[in-house]
Structure 1
């Protein structure tokens, strides 16, 4: 390291899980409910179950790889090590779309929410204040960030619990299905599995972020043990929250006939369930969602840029810099903050389109990396257990991601291909038209920081 500093290994398992859940934003279930309920004919929880199974397969692939490569580069590093350095660079470049634009999306959402509440305030001011706050918290300490995220996630969970209590009271007075004891949201005579799977493909994007905890691998004392658990718990507990909340929403709203605008049903859901006061409190909590997700996504992309800077893919002097006191990639935090300010000029559709492409590239690559490393190189598929763990599961994971690729929006695909092409041109420059390999940091320099008991595969 040019400045002699490294990231501080201080995060505990619960802190990492909270950062992952903050990235996913548990209350996103309310944003998508109207759309998916319409698509699935009132079976949103079933679609969430299918989406969760698909995402857990990919989460398992991340867990297998982080035990072998316990660094902060996530899919970028795994692809470098398991397949090839050139492809690793391209996956890292594509992943930047997911990581870089989510902080911008959260800034945009904050602008939309607060402009609606305070129309007299210039909308650009909310973006500046949001980015400044998120950047400040990311600069100081990853533990401070984790603790704030824990508070914000708990606020969301409390709000969901209060919502469920109000739903139960409403059901007891004859609202919706009129009973809590009903499996109708999960299964009914008129359910169509094709529609359910279509709904699941939409809901899979609610899970984006469980993989982001891998970028914190160099900030926990025992990454080979802690990070795989954190990935699994983030995806699993996020799924449990989504399924539980959507079950009670579906009981109260068996169909979308009560919604004036099913595509943006959150305000109406809160109003019908709890009245005007609850709706106001509920909408204020959506700001907490964006703040929590903004902090978590800002932290993740800062770490990915740090690894790419350490590899000298980007100028190491800036991107590979660690603040000697705070032990955070402070220059990257400021760079991400500056990029997030462009939310003043962007629109939500464009930013969201770029996120989806980057995430799917990372998910696809990670499943293939498991096969490449454990099957092709290590030959660990020759036992029944190895065949299932290292071949069957990642293939199923890749197939579940393939369904998402099939349903990706045209704008996401076009803009993603343009971004990928720019990365390919930059790779040609870095490698002098493939005459040499891309630069790469020595993994043992990171692994050597861990106790011997932690670096055994």
Structure 2
């Protein structure tokens, strides 16, 4: 592939990890604390621990597959290359729903923040301004996106550290459990396994982002860093969620203190550190949202680029790389246009279907390990291979499958509707399955 038609390799290990953490938005643990605390009967950190285990199994599968297929397609690429091109297209199409909606969610959250601060300014002004800035940064340079994302992630992690300090002081003064050394946030009378699993289903979505780093494979300085980047993103993000959730649960054993349990971040900041810290804490959440917006915007543009390069989406548009910026410029702009829908959409509507595609992608990445290593490469004859390439991915697929079937009814309806549209599009693309989908071949794509 010619240099002008390829993505620029400019990202090191920690730059990729930073993009993954930015995508995950660590401060989301405080936004959803009230919801998860009610669902789990006050064991938020335990729900995160369960979710972390589920994500680690899937993360191991991503690490295996990214070394075999070092390209930017993620679950879409792995499924089409190990199982079926048509099945791969459908997995990619399902994942596209998740990736397309995440940038819009960030734009919508920014709209909510700014309207609450400046109610006299029309909401569309904030959405258009935010989308224009994020789109411009992504179009200009992936390296620039990474640098700004890193600054924002460091800022929000610093604020979380400040929360831990203030929280420790408040606990020593008798607030909540009255001590840091308590097991109540993890286990106490009345906690039910079903409730914890329900909470884990919710917080599992906080980890969405570790898989998105695979979209930067073709921009990594060395492909070998990708498995490390995936696992580091999961471990660091999981550690932040667990520790922050533990302190929050120790400080607030119940949600009785909160006036708005749908988003408890502002009140947590107020009760723990006072009015000034609350303002800074909300500013950190704003930074986290921008960081997530940068990361999610860039990752979906890469997925569209790979699908365009393969010819399953119109190649001249979706497979285009700007010769100077070396970014998929048209895709970046398209994602920006879609994000403008945040002007009128509601957070409840978007979030109800956002995880449908992600869990499908996670499940099929686990299955692709089995398809490639066990079915194609016959790597099951030693105890180590049997455990590594069959047992572990089966556990991973089973865990993500359980979460998928427990999705909200609105998510299933919206996701299935999107899938049907994708299936009909594939019928048109293959002329009723009379022709094959194009193979994943870089040289062939260049010649076309």
Normalised by the length of structure 1, the TM-score is: 0.95
User: In structure 2, what is the equivalent of residue 378 of structure 1?
Assistant: 377
* Unmatched segments (≥5 aa) in structure 1: 447-457
Residue 200 of structure 2 is matched in structure 1 by: 200
2-structure distance, mates of 1:34, 1:361: 27
Q: Deviations over 1:26-56 (max 9, x none)?
A: 0000011111111222211111111100011
Structure 1 position 111 matched with structure 2 position 111:
yes
- Tell me, in whole angstroms, the C-alpha distance in 2 between the residues paired with 1:337 and 1:36: 31
CA separation in 2, counterparts of 1:444 and 1:68? 18
Given that 1:374 and 1:390 are in contact with CA atoms closer than 8 Å, whether structure 2 keeps it comes out as yes
Aligned mates of 1:257, 1:357 — CA distance in 2? 32
Structure 2: 5+ residue stretches without partners:
none
Contact 2:70 2:217 in 1 (8 A): yes
Query: Do the aligned partners of 1:217 and 1:227 also contact (CA within 8 Å) in 2?
Result: yes
Identify the residue that residue 454 of structure 1 maps to in structure 2: none
Displacement of 1:406: 2.1
How is 1:221-232 mapped onto 2 (pairs within 5 angstroms)?
A: 221-223=221-223, 225-232=224-231
**Alpha-carbon shift at residue 278 of structure 1 (Å):** 1.2
Residue 179 of structure 1: how far off its partner (Å): 1.0
1:158-181 CA-partner distances (Å, limit 9, x unpaired): 000101110111111111111112
Deviation, structure 1 residue 190: 3.7
Q: Please name the residue that 1:388 is paired with.
A: 387
Distance 2:232 2:189 in 1: 33
User: Which structure 2 residues correspond to residues 7-18 of structure 1 after superposition, within 5 A?
Assistant: 7-18=7-18
- The corresponding residue for 1:90 is 90
Q: CA distance change for structure 1 residues 445 and 28 in 2, over 3 Å: closer, same or farther? A: farther
SS at match of 1:263: coil
Show the counterpart of 2:286: 287
Name the CA distance, whole Å, in 2 between partners of 1:35 and 1:338: 31
What pairs with 1:16-27 in structure 2 (closer than 5 Å)?
16-27=16-27
Is 1:311 equivalent to 2:291 in the alignment? no
Moved more, 180-189 or 228-237: 180-189
Partner of 1:124: 124
Counterparts of 1:111 and 1:354, CA distance in 2: 20
Tell me the equivalent position of 1:31: 31
Partners of 2:359 and 2:439 lie apart in 1 by 24
Give a deviation string over 1:317-342, Cα, whole Å, max 9, x none: 11111111111111111111111112
Alpha-carbon shift at residue 440 of structure 1 (Å): 2.8
Distance 1:253 1:50 in 2: 21
- Using the TM superposition, give the Cα deviation of residue 350 of structure 1 relative to its aligned residue in structure 2, in angstroms: 2.2
| Within-5 A mapping of 1:422-441 | 422-441=421-440
1:162 aligns with 2:162: yes
Q: For structure 1, which segment, 26-35 or 275-284, has the greater mean C-alpha deviation from structure 2 after superposition?
A: 275-284
Please say which of residues 182-191 and 383-392 is displaced more in the overlay: 182-191
> Which ranges of 4 or more aligned residues in structure 1 deviate by more than 4 Å?
1-4, 443-446
Report deviation, 1:349. 1.9
Output the CA distance in 1 between the equivalents of 2:344 and 2:359. Answer: 26
CA distance in 2, matches of 1:281, 1:213: 29
Looking at structure 1, the residues matched to 339 and 352 of structure 2 have their Cα atoms a distance apart, in angstroms, of 16
> Alpha carbon RMSD of aligned pairs, Å?
1.5
2:135 is aligned to 135
Equivalent-residue separation in structure 2 for 1:141 and 1:36 (angstroms): 38
Cα deviation digits, residues 293-346 of structure 1 (max 9, x gap): 110000000100110111111121111111111111111111111111121132
CA contact (8 A) 1:3 1:322 kept: no
Whole-Å separation in 2 of the counterparts to 1:194 and 1:414: 24
Kindly tell me the number of residue pairs found equivalent between the two proteins. Answer: 445
Q: Does 1:298 align with 2:302?
A: no
CA distance in 2 between partners of 1:362 and 1:122 (Å): 37
Q: CA deviation at 1:152?
A: 0.6
Following superposition, the deviation at residue 444 of structure 1 comes to: 6.9
Aligned to 2:334: 335
- Three-state SS of the structure 1 residue aligned to 2:353 is helix
Contact 1:75-1:91 within 8 A present in 2 as well: yes
> 1:443 Cα deviation (Å)?
4.9
